[in-house]
Amino acid sequence: MIRKEQLNKMTNFLWEIPQSYREDMRVPARVYATEEGLEAILKDDSLDQLINVSTLPGIQKAAIAMPDAHQGYGFPIGGVAATKYPEGVISPGGIGYDINCGVRLLATDADYNEIKGEMENLATELYNNVPAGAGKSGPVNLNRQDFDRLLRRGAEWAVENGYGGSEDLEYIEANGRLDHADPNVVSERAKQRGQDQAGTLGGGNHFLEVDRVSKIFNQKAAQALGLHENQVVVFIHTGSRGFGHQVATDYVKKFQSKMNEYGINLPDRGLACAPMDTRDGKDYYHAMAAGANFAWCNRQVITSEVRKAFRNVLGTQAGKIDVVYDISHNIAKLEVHEINGNSEKVMVHRKGATRAFGPGHPELPDAYRDIGQPVFIPGSMGTSSYVLTGTTEGMQSTFGSTCHGAGRNMSRTAAKKQVDPNKLIRRLKEQDIHIQAASHSGVAEEAPLAYKEVDMVVETVEKAGIAKRVLQMHPAAVIKG
């Protein structure tokens, strides 16, 4: 494992492993972290995985790790890598098994102080409306032809079928649809696994959370986002469920068997990849897009169920519930970035990292063009979460990317050994945080102590200049799978 003294300290919040560290590195490896944060990251193999990422054919500038980085499969979670298009590669390990796992933030008209007494009822209603846990079926169960249509159209399919309005689509990354999705390059097994899962939360670290806005740091940006103190907001964190997992499984296996044909030799089979100018590379790109579309549709259907739950519990007090934004943090996107003074097309892999485009970017909604793209950094079910915005500096240094959460600092197994879920649920209730969960073991796995300190993570990205704080939120009700 690499040691701290082998890294070059570039700033108080950026460290570099030089390309000379290992002869197969094509670019440096960089990690955003404080001294304390780096010590935490060095406890697992995430930086050794980042070094391996730097060996990918066609990789540009640097392999990058965010301050929430921890060990993953192939790529570290919290990893960013851009490969030259079309001769560079695309790697499922740089996207993750939960394709387009992401976060959506909804803004309600409700004031926390006025509905605080209904929070436990609201948590129960949300839990009843949104299926949570592994393998759960949702409200959408389609025949194969209609499911293929969903995979092509993403969140648009959901809106067309009564799950929300067209105004929601404007505030979703890519408007909730990648138009290069192709169900024909997706396996029958993947379709079987996903066919009845739209509108479900899943398990693991996925959650549905009701928060109150507790502190504003940037009034102008908060106002542009339609957010203010004591407002009740809702986080939806889920992805492509069994469908995306199967797509990734299928293509990792395929790429691992064909690497020799491409003349690619990598230090970790978890980095299995294919050149983008090959049939295999294109097929995965189209299949991944189908997974991304499924995830956006999933979050759109859940949004509709959240609106119903609020109306059922609060009636007219619920008011209007708007989509603030929806961002992916497990995806590869074809983007244009400045490299060595030139605008270049690159395939940006973000795994446990989120897009964070700066002000003026043409892909942003008009309402957010002046402030930059909204970024969401959830903490844990017992700590605060943050809304930030992307920066111009981040466009230059991280391909317009930042971190996606606090990041784990303890395995699920270790957390279950240390946490009594009943005591944790009682302690959180004493803090006016109401938990509804499919299993007590899942609560233990997701205990606050299992995660890095979110305040430190947010401070790191802000002082490094790759995102700016807008506001802070605290949980009031949490639904876990």
Ranges of each domain in the chain = 4-480
Establish whether 347 is an annotated binding residue: no
The set of residues, in sequence order, having a beta carbon less than 8 Å from that of 59 and lying 6+ positions away, is 26, 27, 53, 81, 82, 83, 84, 88
Give mean pLDDT, residues 443-470: 85
Establish whether 42 is an annotated binding residue: no
Residue 363, judged by CB atoms within 10 A of its CB (0-12, 13-18, 19+), counts as middle
Whole-number Å distance between alpha carbons of 358 and 364:
9
What pLDDT is attached to residue 253?
97
Tally of CA atoms within 13 A in the half-sphere of 409 that contains its CB: 19
Torsion of CA 115, 117, 119, 121, to 10 degrees: -120
Establish whether 100 is an annotated binding residue: no
Establish whether 207 is an annotated binding residue: yes
Give the number of other Cβ atoms within 10 Å of residue 335's Cβ.
17
CATH number for the 4-480 domain, one of 3.40.140.10, 3.30.930.10, 3.40.50.1370, 3.90.1860.10? 3.90.1860.10
Per-residue pLDDT at 234 exceeds 90? yes
Establish whether 96 is an annotated binding residue: no
Establish whether 474 is an annotated binding residue: no
What pLDDT is attached to residue 19?
98
Radius of gyration from C-alpha coordinates of the chain: 21
Three-state SS at 276 = coil
Give mean pLDDT, residues 263-274: 97
pLDDT classification of 159: cutoffs 50, 70, 90: very high
pLDDT classification of 282: cutoffs 50, 70, 90: very high
Establish whether 405 is an annotated binding residue: yes
- Which of 81-90, 204-213, 229-238 is predicted with the least confidence, judged by mean pLDDT? 204-213
Active centre residues (catalytic)? 404
Higher pLDDT, 135 or 321: 321
> Do you find a cis peptide bond into 275, omega within 30 degrees of 0?
no
Whether the model pTM is above 0.85:
yes
Give mean pLDDT, residues 342-363: 97
| Mean per-residue pLDDT of the chain | 93
Helix H segments across 369-475?
392-397, 412-418, 421-430, 440-445, 454-463
Give mean pLDDT, residues 357-367: 97
pLDDT classification of 408: cutoffs 50, 70, 90: low
